Amino acid sequence: MRVITGTARGRKLTAPEGLDVRPTADKVKEGIFSAVQFELEDAYVLDLFAGSGQLGIEALSRGAKRAVFVDSSQKSIRCVNENLRSCGFERQAEVVSRDSYDYISLTNKSFDLIILDPPYRHGHIAKILPLAAAKLSEGGLIICEYEDAAEVPETPEGLTLRRTYHYGKISAAIFCREAQEEADEE
């Protein structure tokens, strides 16, 4: 597992051992980030269910300004901190040891990019996507990674499904909240 491109390109990342964390394959990560590359510059990112932190770190490497990493596992939190240190992104990051549902429900922050890559087969995307949508800034994006056998998550009010991608057993959906100017022009 590595950072694909940007300022930390090629840096190796570690993942917690065990079955709780399922690192995103490079081809999936490349596809997702190629689709949003022009919206990453100076973005404020939230990586929920952070695991190793690789998706938020990829966003930082590609120009995001700041990222918050949230996970309830202490193994994951240690891993995220180690990976941030390795890539030199400690000052651009906040690492929060907390349940993702609690964090997204209670934070008063809004984000330009929210990454949802929860454990599969638990229905997390359908439950947390509407909560995340409420914390998305105008013109912002939500990236959801889920098992291909699952249905495309229902689009929350105020968002538009931009595109879905399929990579073998993994799927990804990108939702956006249009900027008010764009919505007014239609």
pLDDT at position 185 is 52
pLDDT at position 19 is 46
pLDDT at position 148 is 74
Residue matched to tokens 């990019």: 113
pLDDT tens, N- to C-terminus, the chain (186 residues): 889 989 999 899 998 876 456 677 778 888 889 889 999 999 999 999 999 999 999 999 999 999 999 999 999 999 999 999 999 999 999 999 999 999 999 999 999 999 998 887 677 888 999 999 999 999 999 999 888 766 777 888 899 999 988 888 888 899 999 876 544 555
> CA dihedral in degrees (44, 48, 52, 56; nearest 10)?
-20
pLDDT at position 124 is 84
Q: Could you please report the per-residue DSSP string of the chain? A: -B--SSTTTT-B----SSSS--PPPHHHHHHHHHHHGGG-TT-EEEEET-TT-HHHHHHHHTT-SEEEEEES-HHHHHHHHHHHHHHT-GGGEEEEES-HHHHHHH----EEEEEE-PPTTS-HHHHHHHHHHTTEEEEEEEEEEEETTSPPPPPPTT-EEEEEEEETTEEEEEEE---HHHHHH-
pLDDT at position 44 is 98
pLDDT at position 118 is 87
Domains, the chain:
26-185 (3.40.50.150)
